[in-house]
Chain A
Amino acid sequence: MKIPISWLKDYIDLDGLSVEDIARKLTLAGLEVDEIKYAGLPMPTYKGGEKHEFKTSGIAWDKEKLVVAEIREVKEHPNADRLTLLDLFDGKENQTVLTGAPNIFHLKGTGKLAKSIKVAYAKEGTMLYDGHAEGLQLMTLKRTKIRGVESYSMVCSEKELGISEEHEGIILLDDDAPVGMPLAEYMGDAVLDISIVPNMARNANVVGIARELAALTGRELKRPTMDNGRRTKKSGQSSAVNGQSVTELVEIEITNPELNPRFVAGLIRDIEIKPSPYYIQRRLRLAGIRPISNIVDATNYAMLDIGQPLHAFDYDVLVSRVGQIGNLSHKIKIITRAAKDGEKLTTLDGKERELTSANVLVCDEKGSLAMAGVMGGAESEVTDKTRNILLEGAAWNFINIRKTAKQHNLPSEASFRFSRGVHPAMAEQGVKRGLELMAEWSGGQIAPDLVDVYLLKPKDPTITVTTKDVKRLLGIDLTAKQIAELLTRLEFKCTVDKNSVKAKTPPHRLDIGEGAIGLADVLEEVARVYGYDRIPETRMSDSLPPQVGNPRHEWEEHARDILTSLGVQEVVSYRMTSPERESRLVAHDEYVTLANPIAPERRVMRRSLLASLLENVEKNARAESISMFEIGSVFEPNKNDLPNEPRKFAIAMTGLRTQTAWDVKDSASFDFYDMKGRLELLLSGLRLASVSYTPTDSAPFLHPGKAAQVSVNGQTVGVFGELHPLVKEKYDFEDSPVIVAEFDLDALRNATPTYGIAPVSEFPPVLEDIAVIVDESVTAERVEGLIKQTGGKIVTRVRLFDVYRDEKIGAGKKSLAYNLTYQSEKTLTDAEAAAIRTKIVKRLEHEVGAKLRS
């Protein structure tokens, strides 16, 4: 919401407060100022080290060089058809100025004007925005010659002064603008762009902001006049309230008060449609609204002023519609009701809209007139020919307006306010304010009285706040009198009784609840007005809760640490993917599917963590070496219920095993055993023993001969292996094999860890190599098992260091070579070592037909 400071000053005295002071006070109180845009007022200057507090834009106006001036004569340019020469008085001297402004052009060659025209005049050297440039480009006004005429100054458009984007013509100031006055003094402004959070909806207007500032500064709030046009603000003249009362001409029927708690209507006659005064147009533009005409502007101005959206109907159109249905009384009956499904209405943007029962309509006896609270209908719209206006101010159900604005994609200033809730009390004030402004700007005559049907009044709850509540929840000591004083500044009606305050909600806000909620609502107001910055910082005095830990989380973090220590990089992927993307690796029929995906390729929740991981490998495929892991949830659908979210971890490796360097030229690629080595270290790091690796065909995406299943205590926990060549082909990978692993974290975590650490002997170990030739069918695991079993406790380490095949050994045979470590609680003799060795060799010969290789 954009608030011009000049407008704010109508309702609160801001003397002694800089624009930044005001912005700071509002920001700290929950009305966050996103940006300050200067349009004339002096901008703060910063010396080194001083703080800029707000995003700032715009320009300040030079008091010497920018002044109010009057055009006295409009002449022709001797050499240019499209330019005019203005004789202008700047309060001190006469000046000649060139302009091509279209809104002066029709006066070209008129000569002396009967009535002078007031303009914004910029002298040589003024810093302005370049009106002809794209966007906002600062420039300094320089002396030049245009078609033979010297030009040293100009009359300005709004764009040049940083008021708006408008550069169609020059600014034509109101007639009472004092010639010679510095423009900054006359209409220098700054605009606060304030974000309005949902429970601050009441403040989406100038009076609301002024009320907050008054509360925060302890100053007085001046209220706008709403005297139904009996007096105009500027001239002080009486504009008589005249003619037949509106109550005799219009009646209102509300069919559902839940949808439409209140409807107020007023009538103004004999208006003249014309532009609003310039200062009003300027304020509207600064507030982000395009001026249209005095009548439309009055509805917008009143809305920005006090927060009540209004709608103006062409009264004569309504009267003729009454005639069309043969009602001779000519009394207009306004009916509000829910639309019928499929009912149609052409809105004032010319679009025919198909309605649903979620939309509310303002109708007469002939049919629909407007989409309530969102947009008027085309037929009864105000036009240049409109003479009489029926002005609507109503209260609507905020949920309904919200749905309607969304459904028809019609966000507007009105629906913004209505969809956050406008207090029904504002309907009457809004109509009065609107009529007053229309009378002032259009010369119309207001019909006596208002038609007002008010069926559903909000509760405006009364909340009891005690000094104890303030101490218990805010942690500060305030007396009941102090509490009442703070709340009174926000117009709560307060009565003090000993240590408690009864505070009645003022009739402009809907955000105060009842009971415990109301108490929290009111305490927030106490804290805000008191100042969050004045509340002390204390440490909790409450007792500490029982300590319970989160074993799953701690365990996952431990696994992450082990994996990174093994040189594997962690990644975190999008949880959202598509079945097509995952099907490159593994196909699933059912997914947790989004009803509103941002894109088809992110329409389901992933089922395979490995599929996510491989996409990351693919993205980094040009890297020399990749080892990545991810730990995270996958999502298993559960019909119309919440999905299961098992935790998984996946590793993928491809590329070079060791980093190349300037003297290390080649390195082998990662293979199955690089992965296995890491998994072994991971599992031992997680203190898991009894791990077995068996060939598997359970994962079709793996190479059938290079795939293993991992079990702990007989329980399967994961698979790993080389990616199947046909699967690998579907990705944009480099040549080297891609080795992957996928584990079920919960199964892994539930496997029983072992916590023994073997003692380290002081006696020297005996190291020895032994190589045996066995049939290909004999697995390394079997041989190693036999060695360990036979050697018993003395054989503390068995390490396979070579697997060898050749003709000498024979076809179908292989040689397995082991380092054995013998360790005893004494120094072993050679003879003892030899005895163990013989025993092992014999056992291998016997069990698997091994032959000792010499």
Chain B
Amino acid sequence: MLDQLNEIEKAALESLQSITDSAALEAWRVSHLGRSSPLMSVFAGLGKLSKEERPAVGSGANRVKVALEAALEERSKIVKEAALAKSLEEESLDVTLPGRGVHVGRLHPSTQQLRKVMGILADMGFQIYTSREVETDEYNFQLLNFPPNHPARDMQDTFFVEADGRGDNPILLRTHTSPGQIHAMREYAATNPDNPPPIRIALPGMCFRYEQITARSEIQFNQVEGLVVGENITFADLKGTLADFARRMFGQHARVRFRASYFPFTEPSAEVDVECFVCGGKGCGVCKNSGWLEILGCGMVHPVVLQNGGYDPARYSGFAWGMGPERQLMLRYKIDDIRYFWGNDLRFLEQF
């Protein structure tokens, strides 16, 4: 009987060795461990054995059963691993095929840049002030210290709107966001005319110049201006504030340079150059080998402008600066044609 058990074990283990798939494994289980398997019939025949034989055969059969079950488990692990390895191998993809696309909505690059600028200004305590795009000559020029026929008007070629009977106060498309300076100052001053509150605002918006549309010039462009008015505001504060702004805007190590300049509504006035962020100041095509990029114009608010805004220049002072988000983008991304911005070609917009 025990010999028979050994035979059963030997035959079962032998046939297990050649099994490579789970179906054969199941068939093997049925034939070697199933109800009608030789082993099970040994268990079934235990009752017929003599008292003396029974324990040895019983424990022998149990040993074989445990051994076969362990072998089955081991084999099934191998078969599974082999099957997984096979399927992993068969299922591999061409990872170089393109991914499936999703329709993506993006902000226009100008909006993105305006947000960047205004986000920094908001951190610095500046609040957003918006005003109209069609303006009067008075607000766009006269109150900003551009008298009629002043040569400074040559600096800003203007679109005028057809309107009768307006004398020397025609309607025009604003050439800069600066009319907002007067609107804002007057609004703030009206809240407390004897002691007007301090001002710290950012003025974003679309502006217009009478230009031919070329790669270099456009009839409309965005501008963001900053305006500070208060007591004890100095030119040194202007330098410090813009240096701070430039570091946030153009990088921690961005150096700035102040050059004397002229704007009718500021004095002293300056142009601010930032060290070229394309070449780091070494000289390249973007900065025309100068190492510097002209990035904004600024100055102390002209006393005439303060006065027109309701702020006494003997007591108050302030500064203002202006910059163009499209110009910044052109420099940053080496965009050589300004017409892309309002051309709205998706192939351009999708790159931002």
Footprint of B on A, CB under 8 Å?
27-30, 32, 46, 49-56, 197-201, 398-399, 402-403, 419-421, 471-476, 516-517, 519-521, 523-524, 527-528, 532-533, 535-550, 552-553, 557, 560, 563-576, 592-598, 602, 605, 616, 619-620, 623, 625-629, 632-633, 635, 639-643, 645, 658-659, 661-662, 664
Contact = CB atoms under 8 A, between A and B. Distances in A.
Nearest to A565: B105
Contact of B105 (A473, A549, A602, A627): A627
Contact of A521 (B219, B231, B267, B317): B267
Contacts of A533: 257-258
Nearest to B205: A633
Contacts of B164: 640
Contacts of A419: 151
B105 A567 contact: yes
Contact of B198 (A197, A420, A543, A553): A543
A549 B235 contact: no
B309 interface: no
A572 B127 contact: no
Given A475-B236, A598-B213, A620-B345, A52 B104 contact: no
B251 interface: no
A619 B230 contact: no
Contact of B130 (A56, A403, A552): A552
Interface string B267-279: 1111100000000
Residue picked from B164, B239, B260, most chain A C-beta under 10 Å: B260
Given A474-B235, A571-B108, A605-B134, A52 B102 contact: no
B88 interface: no
A574 B219 contact: yes
12 contacts: A55-B290, A471-B234, A520-B303, A538-B237, A540-B228, A549-B127, A560-B111, A564-B107, A574-B342, A576-B220, A640-B166, A641-B163
A472 B283 CA distance: 38
Given A535-B239, A569-B105, A620-B345, A596 B210 contact: yes
Contacts of B125: 544-545
Contacts of B291: 51-53
Contacts of B239: 532, 535-538
B100 interface: yes
A571 B313 CA distance: 42
Residue picked from B111, B136, B151, B152, most chain A C-beta under 10 Å: B151
B342 A573 contact: yes
B335 to A, nearest CB: 15
B247 to A, nearest CB: 11
Interface string B244-273: 100000000000011111101001111100
B303 A399 contact: no
Nearest to A545: B198
A595 B97 contact: no
Contact of A571 (B149, B155, B349): B349
Contact of B165 (A519, A567, A598, A640): A640
Interface in B115-146: 115, 125, 127-130, 132-136
A575 B206 contact: yes
Given A52-B291, A544-B200, A572 B342 contact: yes
Contact of A576 (B219, B233, B307): B219
A60 B49 CA distance: 122
Given A539-B237, A548-B127, A640-B164, A524 B303 contact: no
Contact of B235 (A473, A576, A596, A635): A473
A30 B303 CA distance: 20
A472 B234 contact: yes
Contact of B160 (A568, A594, A661): A594
Interface of B: 97-98, 100-108, 110-111, 115, 125, 127-130, 132-136, 149-152, 154-155, 159-166, 170-171, 173, 188, 197-200, 206, 208, 210-213, 219-220, 228, 230-237, 239-241, 243-244, 257-262, 264, 267-271, 281-283, 288-292, 300, 302-304, 307, 313-314, 317, 341-346, 349-350
A623 B346 contact: yes
B147 to A, nearest CB: 9
Contact of A573 (B100, B151, B304, B344): B344
B167 to A, nearest CB: 11
Contacts of A639: 163
Given A197-B262, A475-B234, A532-B259, 18 more contacts: A32-B259, A399-B149, A402-B149, A419-B151, A520-B267, A533-B258, A540-B237, A542-B228, A544-B198, A567-B103, A569-B104, A570-B111, A570-B349, A574-B342, A594-B161, A619-B343, A627-B105, A640-B165
A399 B208 CA distance: 25
B249 to A, nearest CB: 16
Contacts of A540: 228, 230, 233, 237, 240-241
A447 B111 CA distance: 69
Nearest to A595: B160
A569 B262 contact: no
B113 to A, nearest CB: 12
A716 B282 CA distance: 59
A545 B154 CA distance: 35
A463 B132 CA distance: 38
A642 B105 contact: no
A30 B262 contact: yes
A474 B149 CA distance: 30
A573 B220 CA distance: 10
Contacts of B350: 569
A563 B230 CA distance: 39
Q: Which 8 A-B pairs have the closest CB atoms?
A: A475-B236, A475-B234, A30-B260, A197-B262, A542-B230, A52-B289, A564-B105, A659-B101
Contacts of A574: 219-220, 342
Nearest to A620: B346
B262 A635 contact: no
Contacts of B155: 198
A567 B103 CA distance: 5
Nearest to B204: A553
Contact of B290 (A52, A420, A640): A52
A486 B197 CA distance: 35
Contacts of A472: 232, 234, 317
A528 B267 CA distance: 11
A639 B210 CA distance: 23
Given A537-B240, A571-B349, A623-B346, A29 B260 contact: yes
A547 B219 CA distance: 34
A146 to B, nearest CB: 39
A633 B230 CA distance: 32
A276 B19 CA distance: 113
A588 to B, nearest CB: 15
Contacts of B264: 198
A596 B160 contact: yes
A250 B261 CA distance: 44
Contact of A594 (B98, B150, B159, B260): B159
B236 A538 contact: yes
Given A520-B267, A540-B237, A553-B130, A593 B151 contact: no
B200 A49 contact: no
Given A516-B314, A645-B134, A572 B161 contact: no
A545 B103 CA distance: 43
B234 A596 contact: no
A572 B149 CA distance: 33
B348 to A, nearest CB: 10
B102 A567 contact: yes
B236 A545 contact: no
Contacts of B289: 52, 55-56
A52 to B, nearest CB: 4
Contacts of A616: 344
A538 B242 CA distance: 10
A557 B114 CA distance: 11
Given A532-B260, A576-B219, A542 B198 contact: yes
B162 A595 contact: yes
B161 A570 contact: no
